[in-house]
Amino acid sequence: MAYRTWVKLVGAAFGAAALVGAGQLGLAYGLGILDFSRVVDVTARDQWTAQLGWVAWFTMTAAAAGGVAGRSRLSPSAGAGTRLIGGIAAGLGAAAVVPLTMQPARGAAVVGVNEVFVIGVCAALGAAAGIFAAYAALGRNAARWSLTTLTAVIWLLALVSVAPALRSGQDLSPVRLGVLDADFIPASLADRVPLFTMPVIALLAGLIVGFAARRRGLSTVPIALAGLPGPALLTLAYLVAGPGTTDFQEIPYWAAMTAAGAGVFGSVLAAVLGRGPATAERPGSPGKSEPTPDRPTLPQRDAQPESAIAKAGQSVSQGPPLPGTGTAQAVTGRASVAAARASVAARASVAAQRPEHELKPSDTGVITMPPFNGFAPPAQQRPDGDISDWVSGLGGRP
């Protein structure tokens, strides 16, 4: 790859990741999803843990955005090493989130926690995991679709969760990653929504992305894995943050552990639903489709005249049957053997009329070989006169 292409790829991946990471942090601070300047007591430590999940997810999605942006700068012949370098550049760009979170964390007060160090580690782990997300985005279309779809849905859930508080001017309740924490949810469903939100979203996203990949004509394995990348970021973000100590964090934590599997299950359903055996004839199959402007008919080979051998075989097969009894008669070689014997006899009669000194070995069929002594050196084995006469006879000399 040329030097300028390398610079463009690294610059696009790094710049896009840093920009997306900083933009998401700014949006989260403005909406009140993240608040590091408050005092958190022991009973509310899970609210701090929930914010750690958001920070890890922000860095991972920022790196994935760097991979999506760098895809346009990637040459078609680029290999795995080039994509890995682009992924590393995107991860370094996403690492810009680390100081942007450590600085405001100095104003937080969480009992028994070193706030600045913990939030910096979570952001760094998210950037490291984002390298693999960027690598997948650089190499696979289905990975880009899954990452983009899940990121958009998670942000939509967050906006729906904070919208009632923004409209009424009330204090915003903590918003968890991938959970619909809106005030309009009935109290009887408040404990069930966090458990089913992420698996259902991952399943539906896997179905949508899987059908999109199937429509693009991808093979079965890429279709089946199309629903993995996006939900996997949710799973990794909750793994980085931890399960917490109360149901406030434990329920969405275990729901996130099933999100990756639900996404793969959805894409697997998209890969196998409606597919019959390979030999089954279905309407609309490529073999039965009519020609269209973008799919013209294949050129046909002109009919070639039959060769002389084919014509001769056809005439023999269509000729009169051989004399004999029965419908199927075997053709023997007796006639050819008799003709060969007659030819040999005619040649022998002609050779008998020649003088003896004009006879050739080919006329009599008798060739006299010299005695062979296997222990004598090759130089001592000389052909006798009979062999010389036989060789001269083959040349046509009298």
Quick check: 283 pLDDT over 50? no
199/125 Cα distance (integer angstroms):
24
Assess contact for 137 and 64: CB atoms under 8 A.
yes
Measured in residues, the chain has a length of 398
Mean pLDDT of 349-369: 63
Higher pLDDT, 217 or 380: 217
- The tens digit of pLDDT for each residue in 59-114 reads 999 999 999 999 888 877 778 888 899 999 999 999 999 999 988 888 777 777 78
pLDDT at 376 over 60: no
Q: So what's the pLDDT on residue 81? A: 85
pLDDT (tens digit per residue) in 244-281? 888 888 999 999 999 999 999 999 999 988 665 543 34
| Mean pLDDT, residues 318-326 taken together | 49
Is the per-residue pLDDT at 298 higher than 70? no
CA 218 to the chain's CA centroid: 8
What mean pLDDT value characterizes the chain?
77
Above pLDDT 90, what percent of the chain? 39
Q: Give pLDDT, residue 39.
A: 62
Would you kindly state where each structural domain of the chain is located, as residue ranges?
1-139, 141-273
Kindly give, in sequence order, each residue whose CB lies less than 8 Å from that of residue 73, ignoring residues fewer than 6 positions away: 5, 8, 9, 12, 13
- Exposure of 200 by Cβ count < 10 A (0-12 exposed, 13-18 middle, 19+ buried)? middle
Confidence of residue 372 (pLDDT cuts 50, 70, 90): low
Check pLDDT > 80 for residue 8: yes
pLDDT in tens, 13-63: 999 999 999 999 999 988 888 887 766 666 678 888 889 999 999 999 999
Using the predicted structure, report yes or no on whether residue 151 has a pLDDT greater than 90: yes
The token duo for 146 is 């899954």
In degrees, rounded to 5, the angle at the alpha carbon of residue 202 between the alpha carbons of residues 85 and 56 is: 50
According to the 3-state scheme, what is the secondary structure of the chain? CCHHHHHHHHHHHHHHHHHHHHHHHHHHHHHCCCCCCCEECHHHHHHHHHHHHHHHHHHHHHHHHHHHHHHHHCCCCCCHHHHHHHHHHHHHHHCCHHHHHHCHHHHCEECCCCHHHHHHHHHHHHHHHHHHHHHHHHHCHHHHHHHHHHHHHHHHHHHHHHHHHHHHCCCCCCCCCCCCCCCCCCHHHCCCHHHHHHHHHHHHHHHHHHHHHHHCCCCHHHHHCCCCHHHHHHHHHHHHHCCCCCHHHHHHHHHHHCHHHHHHHHHHHHHHCCCCCCCCCCCCCCCCCCCECCECCCCCCCCCCCCHHHHHHHHHHHCCCCCCCCCCCCCCCHHHHHHHHHHHHHHHHHHHCCCHHHCCHHHHCCCCCCCCCCCCCHHHCCCCHHHHHHHHHHCCCC
Weakest-pLDDT range from 3-17, 236-250, 281-295 = 281-295
Dump pLDDT digits (tens) for 113-140. 788 889 999 999 999 999 999 999 998 8
| Residue 239 CA, distance from chain mean position | 28
Question: What pTM value is reported for the model?
Answer: 0.68
User: What is the structure's pLDDT at 107?
Assistant: 75
